[in-house]
Amino acid sequence: MADIFDRFAPLMAQRDSFFTEAGADPFTVRMDQVISQTEAMIGNRRTILCGTNNYLGLTFAPEALKAAHAALDDFGTGTTGSRVANGTYVGHKALEDELKTFFKKDHAIVFSTGFLANLGVLSTLMGPDDFIVMDADCHASIYDGVRMSQAQIIRFKHNDAADLDKRLARLADKPGNKLIVIEGIYSMLGDTAPLKDIVAVKKKHANTYILSDEAHSLGVLGRFGRGLPEQDGVEADVDFIVGTFSKSAGTVGGFCVSSHPKFDTLRLVCRPYIFTASLPPSVVASAAVNLSIIRGPEGGALRKRLRRNAQHLHARLTNLGLKIASGPSPVVAVVAPSPEMAVAFWRGLIEAGVYVNLALPPATPYGYSLLRCSLCAAHTEEQLDEVVAIFGRVAADLGLIERCARKVAGA
Ligand code: PMP
Does ligand 1 come within 6 angstroms of the Cβ of 215? yes
Q: Which residue is catalytic, options 112, 141, 149, 187? A: 187
Does 36 qualify as catalytic in the annotation?
A: no
Instruction: Give burial (CB, 10 Å; 0-12/13-18/19+) of 100.
Output: middle
- Read off the DSSP letter of residue 305: H
Q: How confident is the model at residue 179 (pLDDT cuts 50, 70, 90)?
A: very high
| Fold matches, 10-49+300-409 and 62-294 | no
Task: Identify whether 247 is a catalytic site residue.
Answer: yes
For ligand 1, say whether the CB of 183 is within 6 Å of any of its atoms: yes
For residue 263, give the nearest of 150, 100, 91 by alpha carbon: 100
Closest C-alpha among 190, 211, 205 to residue 370? 190
Cβ of 115 closer than 6 Å to ligand 1, yes or no, is yes
What does the DSSP 8-state code read for residue 248?
Answer: T
Whether the pLDDT of residue 9 is over 50: the answer is yes
pLDDT at 347: 95
Q: Model confidence over 65-78: pLDDT tens digits?
A: 999 999 999 999 99
pLDDT of residue 204: 97
Strand-pair category, 331-336 with 323-324: antiparallel
What confidence tens digit (pLDDT) does each residue in 376-405 have?
999 999 999 999 999 999 999 998 876 554
Which parts of 310-368 are beta strand (E)? 323-324, 331-336, 354-355, 357-359
Q: b vs e for 30-45, b when ≥16 Cβ sit within 10 Å of the residue's Cβ?
A: eeeeeeebbbbebeee
Of 6-20, 21-35, 49-63, 397-411, which has the strongest mean pLDDT? Answer: 49-63
Query: How remote is the CA of residue 214 from the centroid of ligand 1, in Å?
Result: 9
Kindly report, residue by residue over 233-273, the tens digit of the pLDDT.
999 999 999 999 999 999 999 999 999 999 999 999 999 99
State pLDDT tens for residues 107-147: 999 999 999 999 999 999 999 999 999 999 999 999 999 99
b/e code 202-221 from CB counts within 10 Å (16+ = b): beebeebbbbbbbbbbbbbb
* Cis bond before residue 362 (omega within 30° of 0): yes
Neighbours of 353 (CB within 10 A): 15
Fold (topology level) of 10-49+300-409: Aspartate Aminotransferase, domain 1 (3.90.1150)
* C-alpha dist (Å) from residue 236 to 93, 132, 211: 24, 20, 12
pLDDT tens by residue, 286-302 = 999 999 999 999 999 99
Residue type, 160: D
Q: What's the pLDDT at 402?
A: 64
Task: Give 132's Cβ-side CA count (13 Å radius).
Answer: 28
- Report how far ligand 1's centroid is from the alpha carbon of 115 (Å): 6
- This prediction has a pTM of 0.96
CB of 188 closer than 6 A to ligand 1?
no
Instruction: Determine whether the shortest distance from the Cβ of 137 to ligand 1 is under 6 A.
Output: no
Q: Are 263 and 107 in contact (CB under 8 A)?
A: yes
CATH of domain 62-294: 3.40.640.10
Asked whether the beta carbons of 96 and 325 are under 8 A apart, the reply is no
Our answer to whether residue 216 is catalytic in this structure is yes
Catalytic residue among 216, 314, 379, 407: 216
24 Cα: distance to centroid of ligand 1 (angstroms)? 25
Q: For 291-344, what is each residue's pLDDT tens digit? A: 999 999 999 999 999 999 999 999 999 999 999 999 999 999 999 999 999 999
Contact 135 CB / ligand 1 (< 6 Å)? no
| CA-only gyration radius of the chain, Å | 22
pLDDT range class, residue 410, cuts 50, 70, 90: very low
Contact indicator for 87, 79 with CB cutoff of 8 Å: yes
Average pLDDT rounded to a whole number, residues 152-161 = 98
- Name the residue type at position 236: A
Domain ranges for the chain, please list them. 10-49+300-409, 62-294
Q: What is the pLDDT of residue 229?
A: 98
How many residues in total does the chain contain?
A: 411
For residue 322, with 0-12 CB atoms within 10 Å meaning exposed, 13-18 middle and 19 or more buried, which class applies?
buried
Decide whether any atom of ligand 1 lies within 6 Å of the 55 Cβ: no
Classify residue 340 by burial, with Cβ atoms within 10 Å: 0-12, 13-18, 19+: middle
Which of the residues 247, 312, 314, 379 is marked catalytic?
247
Residue 364 has pLDDT above 50, yes or no: yes
CA pair distance 362, 360, nearest whole angstrom: 6
Asked if residue 244 has its Cβ within 6 Å of ligand 1, the reply is yes
> 247 alpha carbon to ligand 1 midpoint, in Å?
8
Question: Do 249 and 294 meet the contact criterion of CB atoms below 8 Å apart?
Answer: yes
Q: Are 268 and 193 in contact (CB under 8 A)?
A: no
Give the largest CA-CA distance in the chain: 66
Of 118, 121, 139, the one to substitute when testing ligand 1's pocket (max ligand atoms within 8 A of C-beta) is 139
